[in-house]
Amino acid sequence: MSWPLYKVSGDAGRVNDQALYPLTELERTMKVQEVLMRAIAGKINWYQAAEILGSSMRSLRRWKKQMEEFGVDGLIDRRRRQPSQKKVPLEEVKRVVRLYADRFSHYNMRHFHQIARRDHGVKFSYTLLRTVLQEAGLVKKKKGRGRHRRRRERRACFGEMVHLDGSTHRWIRRRPDLRWTLIQMVDDATSQALYAQFEEGETTLGVFRALSTVVEEHGIPMSLYTDRAGWAFETPQAGGPVDKTNLTRVGQAMKRLGVEHIPSYSPEARGRSERVNRTYQDRLVNELDSAGIVTIEVANRYLRETYLPDHNTRFSVGPRDPESAFVPAGRLDPRTLFYEEEDRMVRKDNTVSFDGICLQISKRPGRTTCAGLQVQVRRFLDLSLAIMKGVLCLGTYGPTGDPVSGPRPMEAAGPDGKPHTDAVSHKALGRRKRTRRPQLPQALLLGSPSALRASA
């Protein structure tokens, strides 16, 4: 809003005759003069004058001295005499307000400031941009924070602690019925996003995919920090401590790798991963919508190829200690570490059912049947399946249950370093191999006396 400007005349040594002032400043000056004159005349005391003007006693003394020396012109605020050279043009302010209202009203302030400066030539600072939008009524002022909390200090080395968490959210604005789960891993020392991928749900298999990728690309971390979800820990009592003796599949994998698995007992304790989830929700939803992405495959490709590199460039920091705590995995096979496993009983028709899939066990040398055996069914990262009896593999299958020919995974090795053959597999299966009994003469079987005397 523009205000009418007026000239102020007076002492040429104090006031520029060509200076212009808004009407509001002249009204303020007249009010200050009136209150000061009443205080000087003794009609009110100086404390009452300060209360009327909403100022301090120090300001009253300064104004009284300036009025005695320069008259009314001494009460004018000289900061209002000329517009600042850094003043933003009104048209630019209007353009930014329209830009936010028309296209970016669902963006948070930091994200909008980044996009506006990068793609639309806006030169505003973040503080000025936020103030302009708040005064326009497009952005609400946030409430003050609660009591003071001290943030936990970062770990010193890259890989010393890794956070893993899942965030279930409506990631596709055009498909509000879709609620995918973003499984993400972030390093505590650097805030570097090590892994992020959309899954249909927060499952053990999805967690294994995340852990396997990080182990292959970076190595084995020193510790893993997660919440107390069902895939992470067994919690006998809701809200109580976890049972570290009864390990989940993820807990067993961490034990095999020698990784310390740390449970979190509150969202505040894992604040770093929670803030990363909020950043993903604020930014990724908008970027996926702008790119027109509606399928999980395309979203994961955009996440890996476009979003994560920019995210790490913007938010990651350097570690205090340049030494990495990741242990190289070497030739470690993820199949031997990350898999789902459930116990099953082989049925009379030598089949095992797993997750609605029927797995047929083929006949093995040295055994008439496998019915009644207690076996373990494993599902690997590529969704292939295997039936195990201890260290022996009774069969490998594709994701749909079709038998797969080829080497069996995790086959037990003999003294010569080669896998055991099927001829001796009956020993590991816990049953003795049947031996053919010697055939007796027919006469002995019939029990005739002459045959018995001849045999004697």
DSSP for 325-374 reads -PBP-TT--GGGTS-EEEEEE--TTSEEEETTEEEEPPP-TT-S--TT-E
The beta-carbon contacts of 374-377 under 8 Å, at least 24 apart in sequence, are 374/343, 374/344, 374/345, 375/343, 375/344, 375/345, 375/346, 376/341, 376/342, 376/343, 376/344, 377/341, 377/342, 377/343, 377/344, 377/352
Mean pLDDT of the chain: 82
Task: Say whether pLDDT at 419 is over 60.
Answer: no
Burial profile 93-119: b = 16 or more Cβ within 10 angstroms, e = fewer: beebbebbeeebeebbbebbbbbbeee
* pLDDT(427) > 80: no
Would you say 401 and 356 are in contact if contact means Cβ atoms under 8 Å apart?
Answer: no
- The DSSP bridge pattern shows strands 260-263 and 223-226 to be parallel
Specify the pTM: 0.58
CA distance 323 to 321: 5
pLDDT for 411: 43
pLDDT band at 70 (very low <50, low <70, confident <90, very high): confident
Residue pair 294/174 in contact by the 8 Å Cβ criterion: yes
So what's the pLDDT on residue 240? Answer: 84
What whole-number distance in Å separates Cα of residue 388 and Cα of residue 325?
Answer: 35
Which of 165-179, 362-376, 413-427 is the most confident on average? 165-179
Count of other CB atoms within 10 angstroms of residue 19: 18
Indicate whether 423 pLDDT > 80. no
- Predicted pLDDT at 324: 93
pLDDT at position 149, please?
66
User: What's the pLDDT tens digit per position in 228-259?
Assistant: 988 889 888 887 889 988 899 899 899 988 99
The mean pLDDT of 172-193, rounded to a whole number, is: 93
Mean of pLDDT values over 182-191: 94
Residue 300, pLDDT score: 95
Q: Strand, coil or helix: what is 183? A: strand
pLDDT score of 430 more than 50 = no
Q: How confident is the model at residue 296 (pLDDT cuts 50, 70, 90)?
A: very high
- DSSP secondary structure of 241-303: --BSSS--HHHHHHHHHT-EEEE-SSTTTTHHHHHHHHHHHHHHHHHHHHTT--SHHHHHHHI
Q: Which residue has the higher pLDDT, 391 or 113?
A: 113
Quote the percentage of the chain above a pLDDT of 90.
45
pLDDT of residue 147: 66
The residue-averaged pLDDT of 198-216 equals 92
Say which residue the tokens 């049972």 belong to: 243
Per-residue pLDDT tens over the stretch 74-131: 888 776 665 666 778 889 999 999 999 999 998 989 999 999 999 999 999 999 999 9
Residue 367 tokens, joined: 């055994």
Closest listed residue to residue 262, CA positions, set 161, 355, 337: 161
| Rounded Cα gap, residues 357 and 418, in angstroms | 32
298 token code pair? 């395309």
* Domain at 162-315: CATH architecture: 2-Layer Sandwich (3.30)
pLDDT at 330: 81
CA atoms within 13 A on the CB side of 357: 19
Other beta carbons within 10 angstroms of residue 376's beta carbon come to: 16
CA dihedral 28, 33, 38, 41 (to 10 degrees): 170
Query: Could you give the CA distance from residue 204 to residue 383 in angstroms, rounded to a whole number?
Result: 12
Quote the pLDDT of residue 213: 93
Q: Tell me the backbone φ, ψ of residue 97, rounded to 5 degrees.
A: -65, -45
For the segment 297-343, what is each residue's pLDDT rounded down to a tens digit? Answer: 999 999 999 999 999 999 999 999 999 999 988 877 777 788 888 88
The string of pLDDT tens digits covering residues 3-50 is: 444 445 444 334 444 456 677 778 888 899 999 999 999 899 999 999
> Can you give the C-alpha Rg of the chain in angstroms?
39
**CB burial class (10 A; 0-12, 13-18, 19+) of residue 360?**
middle
Select the more confidently predicted residue: 173 or 88. 173
**Residue 18: predicted pLDDT:** 40
pLDDT on residue 262: 93
Q: Give per-residue pLDDT as tens, 138-153.
A: 998 877 666 666 777 8
Q: List the beta bridge partners of residue 359.
A: 352
Best mean pLDDT range from 131-135, 337-341, 403-407? 131-135
